[in-house]
């Protein structure tokens, strides 16, 4: 296996096609540019930014506040300790683009799920938290306003374009038992 370790603490790295990439204790940015395989990225300690590509990637933020972008594919995302951010900004596909977040911490001081308004149409304005009337917990949406539906029994997250009248599209699953609320979600451009 090809393994790459950051040459210095802190900094932006472009190790290209190395499949395994390890940040060190500083703030690392791991952003493979070759979109031809699955990547396994470890941020280590520090506030790291990890960017997957189109295949099924594994991203591990490690300690501190990390920013995880799986991109397309069925990615496995682990923020580790700290207030981590998980970004969803690629075209939804219930078979080929469903990420698993393995350690989400809900609520104040916890982690955040960022949703691109260009994908999650109608979810709200950019740079705002998801409004409570656009979020619902349950098996199916009961309101036409609902955009984000969370089935707590399955720890499954869906986007539903037209709420109770629309089809729901699975886009993420989380570790079993986790509860979510509307302010766990933040809308981005």
Binding site for Ca ion (CB under 5 A): 23, 28, 43-44, 46, 48, 52, 57, 61, 66, 70-71, 73, 75, 79-80, 82, 84
Contact between 102 and 76 (Cβ < 8 Å)? yes
Q: CB 129 → Ca ion: shortest distance, Å?
A: 21
23 vs 163, which CB is nearer to Ca ion?
23
List own/partner pairs for 9-17 with CB under 8 A and 24 or more apart.
Answer: 9/46, 10/46
Contact between 99 and 71 (Cβ < 8 Å)? no
DSSP symbol at 54: S
Q: CB 7 → Ca ion: shortest distance, Å?
A: 13
39 vs 135, which CB is nearer to Ca ion?
39
Distance, CA of 76 to CA of 83 (rounded, Å): 17
65 vs 141, which CB is nearer to Ca ion?
65
Q: Give SS3 for 156.
A: strand
9 vs 181, which CB is nearer to Ca ion?
9
Q: CB 68 → Ca ion: shortest distance, Å?
A: 9
Q: CB 150 → Ca ion: shortest distance, Å?
A: 22
Distance, CA of 114 to CA of 130 (rounded, Å): 10
Contact between 188 and 127 (Cβ < 8 Å)? yes
Q: CB 19 → Ca ion: shortest distance, Å?
A: 13
97 vs 146, which CB is nearer to Ca ion?
97
Other beta carbons within 10 angstroms of residue 92's beta carbon come to 17
């Amino acid at each position: 296996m090809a393994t790459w370790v950051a040459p210095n603490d802190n900094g932006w790295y472009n190790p290209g096609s190395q499949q395994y990439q390890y940040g060190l204790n500083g703030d690392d940015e791991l952003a493979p540019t070759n979109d031809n395989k699955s990547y396994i990225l470890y941020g280590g300690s520090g506030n790291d930014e990890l960017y997957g590509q189109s295949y099924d990637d594994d991203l591990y933020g490690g300690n501190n506040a990390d920013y995880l972008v799986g991109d397309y594919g069925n990615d496995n995302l682990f923020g580790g300790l700290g207030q981590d951010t998980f970004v969803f900004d690629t075209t939804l596909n219930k078979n080929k683009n469903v990420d698993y977040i393995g350690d989400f911490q809900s609520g104040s001081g916890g982690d955040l799920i960022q949703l691109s308004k260009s994908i999650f149409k109608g979810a709200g304005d950019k740079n705002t938290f998801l409004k409570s009337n656009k979020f619902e917990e349950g098996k199916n949406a009961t309101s036409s306003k609902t955009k984000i539906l969370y089935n707590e029994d399955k720890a499954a997250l869906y986007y539903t374009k037209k709420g109770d009248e629309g089809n729901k599209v699975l886009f993420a699953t989380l570790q079993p038992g986790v509860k979510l609320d509307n302010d766990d979600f933040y809308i981005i451009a």
